[in-house]
Chains A and B, each alone.
Chain A
Amino acid sequence: MSAFSITEPTRRQKWIAGILVALYALITVMPLVWIVMTGFKTGPDSIAYPPKVVFSPSLEGYVNLFTTQTRLTPEQIETLPPPETWYDRLVREREKTIVGPSRFGQRFLNSVVIGFGSTFLSVFLGTLAAYAFSRFKVPLKDDLLFFILSTRMMPPIAAAIPIFLMFRTLGLSDTRLGMILLYTAVNLSLAVWLLKGFIDEIPREYEEAALIDGYTRFQAFYKVVLPQAATGIASTAIFCLIFAWNEYAFAVLLTSGNAQTAPPFIPTIIGVGGLDWPAVAAGATLFLLPVMIFTIVLRKHLLRGITFGAVRK
């Protein structure tokens, strides 16, 4: 584009636009920054007025997140041996003692297992189906997008009623396997549709050349098509992972003790004597950080994923 182009905005326009957008961006990340900051505050600091921007950081929130504690009277404290580790000391200063690990670690692990399990399954099945939909004549092919959209129209709460009954009959309620299968099914339609878009973009001539060279159709699929589709598969996988990671409605209705993931758990974190905001914020930070990193990695493919491939750019 030449320097004298009519459509090129002037320097001043660029400056004004830049400042306005930067301002909005800063406002938008404020709550997120506040979550991270609150995680490193002490209890009193977190509820101080006016809100504290400058404070001495403390790991109290994280210690409270990973442990369960009880309150002690001064007499009880005197009978105890002196604290051994830094986190023991931190808790002792608040006149409490650690009685064991909290359930956060286990809930977080559930999120990881269910997230990766369902992502693997939906991408695996989705790639196969997408290839078939892209290359062969398959019944129902034309109705696919409509079908995908309509499965997304059902409120999750509505779908949860029969699934709740079905899982109870099959013995899948409150199991990781049940949640993996459920999230796979929810993600699968999106995965198939996105992957079909990516595979459609790979020229058929590559496979045809391979077939003529004596590859079977299956070899052509995994030696020629799969490597070409690797970027598409990776970004689809991240989308599936983020969905399963963030999902709340099914998780809160269908799981309780055993397979509960982190989103229904984090809001229920309660410290000794009232809601412990630093611990909640610490949990939220650990939980949200991976997604923030993925978002930055994924930003080129973001649009395609969130619009089910309707907008490709």
Chain B
Amino acid sequence: MPKPVIERVAKATPASFARRVRGFSDRTIAWIFVTPTIFLLLAINIFPLIWTIRLSFTNFRVNRINADVKFVGLRNYERILSDPDIWQTMQATAHFLFWTLFFQVLIGFALAWLINRKFRGNDLWTTLIVLPMMLSPAVVGNFWRFLYQPQIGLFNYVVGFFTGADPASFSMIGDVSLAPWAIVIVDTWMWTPFVMLICLAGLRSIPDYLYEAAAVDRASKWRQFWTITVPMILPFLMLAVLFRGIENFKMFDLVVQLTGGGPGSTTELTSINLKREAFEKWRTGYASAYAVILFVTVFGLASIYVKALNRVKER
């Protein structure tokens, strides 16, 4: 490869002249440009992380400043891992994670597949579908509580209208068996467009000649779908699942406004549980250990997943 013009020019220019003409050197400019960003990221992303790890080995409580802070070793971690309540929280999170991913991938892919038929006006409909995703989850979650009201809520009315059930006979967020599904429905409503957009990009990246070649070889539409569409779109789908998985593992705003973790603790996802420990019970050291465990879990799972994703991409 030929050297960039600038390097050739730079070499041909005498050093003293070059300095006079070009102001700051590239090296200096690079440092001036990058330093503030690095500084801010260190101060607000890295430093707190280290602090959290340090706190997780202590019995520190924010609401008791003057009490002695004692180093307690791994006791916080032991207590968390042996706490049955935490396992219940994890189960609620797993339920939420699995079903939201399941429905979002299913509906999102189906929508993308339909939109890819390039019918007239699909730009307008796509934009409408995408709207919920961009809105404030807390504000929208709060309003869904209104839609879920028995008797007066729109959701109950619509369900009642189509199934004949009495709209006052069930409460999506008040019933222990329905509440886990209430949050799945709202999250699916909100985030299906995300999966849809990524799938659509995947579908549009598949060149037409693959299908044309398959049609010449008389492969059925069904076979084309499984041997061309699915393998080609898999990396995109996996990427969508990665993003949604990370987001929903730390889900807080939508669910806390919708159900507040209730009824009982049926929808108390890990973030809501963590908030309770850290900012209501003020067990800072304990909550820090909890945070570290969550972070390591996501980090570990995501790393394994990214490896798998790269393998699929290379294939």
Contacts and interface: CB of A to CB of B under 8 A. Distances in A.
30 contacts: A6-B215, A7-B215, A17-B117, A21-B114, A24-B129, A28-B132, A31-B140, A47-B152, A128-B33, A132-B30, A133-B34, A150-B299, A153-B246, A155-B274, A158-B288, A159-B52, A162-B51, A185-B43, A185-B45, A211-B22, A245-B136, A246-B135, A249-B253, A253-B279, A280-B142, A280-B143, A288-B136, A288-B139, A291-B136, A307-B239
Nearest to B270: A155
B91 to A, nearest CB: 18
Given A216-B22, A217-B23, A188 B41 contact: yes
A104 interface: no
What bracket does the count of chain A residues touching chain B fall in?
35 or more
3 cross-chain pairs, A with B, having the tightest CB-CB distances, nearest first: A158-B291, A216-B23, A185-B44
A161 B24 contact: no
Given A31-B144, A192-B37, A281-B143, A21 B125 contact: yes
B197 A306 contact: yes
Contacts of A252: 138
A295 B131 contact: yes
Interface in B124-172: 125-140, 142-144, 146-147, 151-154, 157, 167
Contacts of A280: 142-143, 146
Interface stretch (A62-70, A71-79, A89-97, A263-271): A263-271
B131 A136 contact: no
Interface of B: 4-6, 9, 21-24, 26-27, 29-30, 32-34, 36-38, 40-41, 43-45, 47-49, 51-52, 55, 62, 107, 111, 114-115, 117-123, 125-140, 142-144, 146-147, 151-154, 157, 167, 189, 193-194, 197-198, 201, 204-205, 208, 211-212, 215, 236, 239, 243, 246, 249-250, 252-253, 257, 270-271, 274-275, 278-279, 284, 287-288, 290-292, 294-295, 298-299, 302
A306 B201 CA distance: 13
A114 to B, nearest CB: 14
A295 B152 contact: no
Nearest to A127: B33
Contact of A248 (B121, B137, B157, B295): B137
A205 interface: yes
A313 B143 contact: no
**Residue among A49, A125, A157, A253 with max Cβ neighbours from chain B (10 Å):** A157
B55 A302 contact: no
B142 A204 contact: no
Contacts of A5: 208, 212
B147 A31 contact: yes
Contacts of B136: 245-246, 248, 263, 287-288, 291
Interface stretch (A32-40, A80-88, A229-237): A32-40
Given A34-B154, A218-B29, A151 B34 contact: no
A38 B153 CA distance: 12
Nearest to B145: A267
A23 B229 CA distance: 25
B51 A165 contact: yes
Interface string A241-280: 0100110110011000000001110110000000001001
Contacts of B291: 154-155, 157-159, 161
A149 B13 CA distance: 43
Contact of B278 (A157, A288, A313): A157
**Residue among B30, B115, B198, B271 with max Cβ neighbours from chain A (10 Å):** B30
Contacts of A204: 4
Contacts of B151: 49
Contacts of B27: 136
**Residue among A24, A161, A302 with max Cβ neighbours from chain B (10 Å):** A161
B296 to A, nearest CB: 10
B40 A306 contact: no
Nearest to A246: B136
Given A14-B118, A155-B252, A163 B131 contact: no
Given A185-B40, A214-B21, A267 B142 contact: yes
A287 B30 CA distance: 39
Given A128-B34, A157-B250, 5 more contacts: A21-B122, A29-B128, A125-B40, A151-B45, A158-B52
B58 to A, nearest CB: 12
Nearest to A311: B201
Nearest to A28: B129
A187 to B, nearest CB: 10
Nearest to B5: A208
A48 to B, nearest CB: 7
A136 B204 contact: no
A284 B139 contact: yes
A161 B288 contact: yes
B250 A303 contact: no
A294 interface: yes
A138 B125 contact: no
B142 A128 contact: no
A205 B9 CA distance: 13
A162 B48 contact: yes
A35 B51 CA distance: 42
Interface string A42-66: 0000011111000000000000000
